A and B are shown apart, each in its own frame.
Chain A
Amino acid sequence: MTSWVTEHTETTLSFDERKFTDFATVKEALIAQRVDAVFMLAPMAMQLRADGVPVKVVYLGHRDGTALVVDKHAAIEDFGDLRDKRIAIPNRFANQAILMRRMMRDWEMAPDSIQLLEVPPPEHPAALESGSIDGFIVGEPFAALAELNGTGRVLYQTKDIWPNFISCVLVVREEWIDEEPQAVQELVTGIARSGMWLESGLEQRMEAAEIAAENFYYQPKELLEYVLSKPPDRVKYSELGPRRDDFEEIMELALEFGILSRRIEFEEYVDDRFVPDADQAGWDLEHLPGTRHGAVL
């Protein structure tokens, strides 16, 4: 959204977005300095910093927006029924994997009582359909896709089991922060404003689905509309500043589950100097001519 917004408003910079299909490539593009900023799995960003790569988490892209989906016809009513089942996770280093382990611990289940399988997110619905897994936990739109396909049913939205769940975080190169803090600020503010706009009503969310479907993700509009509205708080675009408590909890869990190689302090991998300005930015609809009235690009 931010990329679209910057192209259509009077900001001084515009951002080119690029879509990747797996996180390893995202990370490599960042390390190789081919991109300045990426959305990346939170634990992966921590490990990258722990390995000495000069990057910082500056903001979040969204909260929640992950669901635990099970086979529609399976007799699975709560987390306890997942014992001995096969559940796909997007990545061993994803916060979704940490969430599963956290739930197992809370339900007093042994860490190996659910079989977790790493499957690339786009393949989750197909894997469920083929019957080779009993469920999956992944970010949208893949949970919604399985629901709409009629193969899956949401057992839990993250908002019900780990409220304000963080999946991906905005990671930027430290060098970019040092050299062009203004540009980073504009990016962060742009994301904040996009979020505020998305949170301003259902009508805005439907417009966003249309814009995103047409310009960015090549996903059907209906799917994105579903993701953004069923229920409306399925994905949250507020409270996007990185909070210490959230991150330290993830860090401790990642360490405990062997995903992170060493303890790492919040200040080491987070730079939240861009948050106050971003949070203060209002969402002035007048600066986005036409969208409210359905004008085209």
Chain B
Amino acid sequence: MSVALPLVVIALSVVLLMKLRWRRQLLAPVFVIAILVAVWQLAVTFVMSETNPTPGQTFSALASIFTSDQLWKHSAASLFRVTWGFVLATALAVPLGLFVGWNTRGFEALNPIIQAMRPISPIAWIPFAILWFGIGDRAGIFLILYASFFPITVGTMAAVRNISRVHQRSAENFGLSGLELFRRVVLPAALPQIITSLRIALGVAWLVIVAAEMVGMDSGLGYLINDARNMGRRYDLVAATMILIGLIGVVLDFLVRKLEGFDEVKWGYVNR
């Protein structure tokens, strides 16, 4: 492809972006994407590399994934693992975060360990994951669980510790204590921040899919990337799968954001 077409696309997109009225703001990302793709094309043309895939090659690889049965198979496999890892992480991390956030002694005892384990990449855990869970789904789910566990724990912990003194004291004045206080004040007040941490954690869970699918899998989008890397020179396939992972990530994020709209969640925002 020549240099002219990408340049025209860039110029046109910039002009249209500047002229957009507020009603058409939804179109803005489309123009930004057009600019990025054009820059990508120019960059590949400029470096004259046959190894870097062009947008055209990447989109045709993407099309080939879409038209074969691979799209469903690999996306479903990855979503299956991420769902399990994320759900298990939530089930473990929210109670832990609530406890550690509420109980000062618990916080002092556990926080250093949590902070020390948090930065360890799931990739480093691969040998142990295999040793404990074998190869296949369970090891992958463990790695996703590990990665998403800490954002939820830390987020929940911070949420509880951030509850305003006013809320807490007035609840106590109304005679609430123990579980009742927890259920009617602490949890609702902390919920928005917990939801935010879930959102971050789901992003992380999806982020580690490529690492999680290095442990003897034969399906999944992460596997597809690892496999394409091993194939001669199929970086178009690598890039196409990256785009697919990004698109599904957007959908996942959209779904979790829906949670923030529930009434039960909303009242926690009042004091902001």
User: Which residues of A are at the interface with B, using a C-beta cutoff of 8 A?
Assistant: 23-24, 27-28, 31-32, 44, 47-48, 50-53, 88, 91-93, 117-120, 122-123, 126-127, 129-133, 261
Q: How big is the B interface, by class?
A: 20 to 34
Interface-located stretch among B57-65, B78-86, B223-231, B242-250: B223-231
Q: Which residues of B contact A50 (CB under 8 A)?
A: 232
B interface residues with partner A (beta carbon < 8 Å): 50-51, 126-127, 130-136, 214-218, 226-227, 229-234
List, in ascending order, chain A residues with CB within 8 A of B227's CB: 92, 118
Q: Which one, A28, A117, A122, contacts B135 given CB within 8 A?
A: A117
Determine chain A's interface SS by DSSP, over half rule.
Answer: mixed
A122-B215 Cα distance, complex, nearest whole Å: 11
Contact between A261 and B132, CB atoms less than 8 A apart: no
**Given A129-B131, A133-B135, do A53 and B233 touch, yes or no (CB 8 Å)?**
yes
Asked whether B130 lies within 8 Å of A130 as measured between CB atoms, the reply is yes
Q: Once the chains are docked, how many angstroms separate the CA of A91 from the CA of B226? A: 10
Contacts of A48 in B (CB 8 A): 232-233
Query: A47 touching B231 by the CB < 8 A rule?
Result: yes
Residues of chain A with a CB closer than 8 A to B215's CB: 119, 123
**Smallest CB-CB separation from B214: which chain A residue?**
A120
CB-based contact A24/B135 at 8 Å = no
Cβ-defined partner of A132 (8 Å) among B50, B136, B233:
B136
**Neighbouring B residues of A91 by C-beta, 8 Å:** 230
CA distance A122 to B123 in the complex (A): 13
Known contacts A117-B135, A117-B218, A133-B135; is A123 also within 8 Å of B232 by CB? no
Tell me which residues across on chain B come within 8 A of A261, comparing CB atoms.
Answer: 232
Chain A hits for B131, CB < 8 A = 126, 129-130
Beyond A123-B216, A133-B216, 12 extra complex contacts between A and B, CB < 8 Å: A27-B229, A48-B232, A51-B233, A53-B51, A88-B135, A93-B231, A118-B217, A123-B130, A126-B131, A130-B135, A132-B134, A133-B135
Most-contacted residue by chain B among A31, A122, A261 (CB, 10 A): A31
Q: Are A130 and B134 in contact (CB under 8 A)?
A: yes
The residue in chain B whose Cβ has the minimal distance to the Cβ of A31 is B51
In the complex, what distance in Å separates the CA atom of A44 from the CA atom of B227? 12
Chain B residues within 8 Å of A93, by CB: 230-231
Please indicate the chain A residues that have their CB under 8 angstroms from the CB of B226 in the complex. Answer: 24
User: Once bound together, how far apart are the Cα atoms of A24 and B235, in whole Å?
Assistant: 11
27 interchain pairs, CB-CB under 8 A: A24-B226, A24-B229, A27-B230, A31-B51, A32-B51, A48-B232, A50-B232, A51-B232, A51-B233, A52-B233, A53-B51, A53-B232, A88-B216, A118-B218, A119-B130, A120-B214, A122-B127, A123-B130, A127-B134, A127-B135, A130-B130, A130-B131, A130-B133, A132-B130, A132-B133, A133-B134, A133-B216
| CA gap between A93 and B214 in the complex, in Å | 15
* Minimum distance in angstroms from B135 CB to a CB of chain A: 5
| Cβ–Cβ contact A119 & B135, under 8 A | yes
User: Contacts A52-B233, A92-B227; is A127 near B132 (CB within 8 Å)?
Assistant: no
A131–B136 alpha-carbon span in the complex (Å) = 12
Per the bound structure, the CA–CA distance linking A127 and B233 in Å amounts to 29
A88 to chain B, nearest CB (A): 7
- Do A117 and B232 touch (CB < 8 A)? no
